[in-house]
Amino acid sequence: MDNKITYHNDERLTFEEYADFLTRTDLGNQYPQEDFMQRIPTLLKNYDVGITARDEQGVLLGACLGVTDFAYYLFVIDLGVARGYERKGIGTRLIRMAHEAAGGEQRICMVLDAATEARTFYEKAGFEHWQSIMVYDREPWTEMQLTPEKLAQFKKQAHQD
């Protein structure tokens, strides 16, 4: 299934690699374009759990990033798999490894905000819908499709600022 894929625990990703990865997944669609070039590096600096999947050449194929207290909760920030590698068990393995890294399913409740398109995956992975989750969000949020061209535009604009 994924025998040529290696998984890594606690790997720190660079902005360049992660931004490129986002253009090859549907994850890039979940981020607003406001302050993208400043916020992604902050995200990458501050996650507690980082599980990655790479091919034989070291190319990033999947990532699961989360924040945790290592006592009760793991909030999954991102779980993504590069297009063309979905439905090969990579996402399932990433989420299981992240759960284990945070303390395991007997101790840690995993929480996430699932994109509509990903809900079936999470349901099959054992997640349930909770009615008690509350959100306070006043951030301007302009949706975008993160493409290599859009990423290049962000980089160019960041160098001009």
pLDDT of residue 3: 60
Q: What is the pLDDT of residue 32?
A: 85
Binning pLDDT at 50, 70 and 90, where does residue 2 land?
Answer: very low
Average pLDDT over all residues of the chain: 91
At residue 29, the pLDDT reads: 82
Residue 17 is predicted with a pLDDT of 96
- Measured CA to CA, the distance from residue 47 to residue 116 in angstroms comes to 24
**How far is 30 from 65, CA to CA, in rounded Å?**
14
Q: In degrees rounded to 5, what are phi and psi of residue 31?
A: -100, 140
Q: Mind listing the pLDDT tens digit for each residue in 73-93?
A: 999 999 999 999 999 999 999
Would you say 108 and 85 are in contact if contact means Cβ atoms under 8 Å apart?
Answer: no
Q: Are 115 and 77 in contact (CB under 8 A)?
A: no
Residue 1's pLDDT is 45
Q: What pLDDT, in 10s, does the model give residues 19-76?
A: 999 999 988 888 888 888 999 999 999 999 999 999 999 999 999 999 999 999 999 9
**Angle in degrees, 0-180, between the axes of helices 36-46 and 15-23, rounded to the nearest 10:** 110
Average pLDDT over residues 138-144: 77
Q: Is 80 exceeded by the pLDDT of residue 159?
A: no
Residues 103-111, mean pLDDT to the nearest whole number: 96
State residue 161's pLDDT score.
Answer: 66
- The CATH architecture of the domain made up of 6-125 is 3-Layer(aba) Sandwich (3.40)
Claim: this prediction has a pTM higher than 0.75:
yes
For residue 10, name the pLDDT band (cuts at 50, 70, 90): confident
Per the CB < 8 A criterion, the answer to whether 50 and 6 are in contact is no
Contacts 24+ apart (CB under 8 A), 19-23: 19/146, 19/151, 20/60, 20/148, 20/151, 21/60, 21/63, 21/80, 21/82, 22/80, 22/146, 22/151, 23/146, 23/147, 23/148, 23/150, 23/151
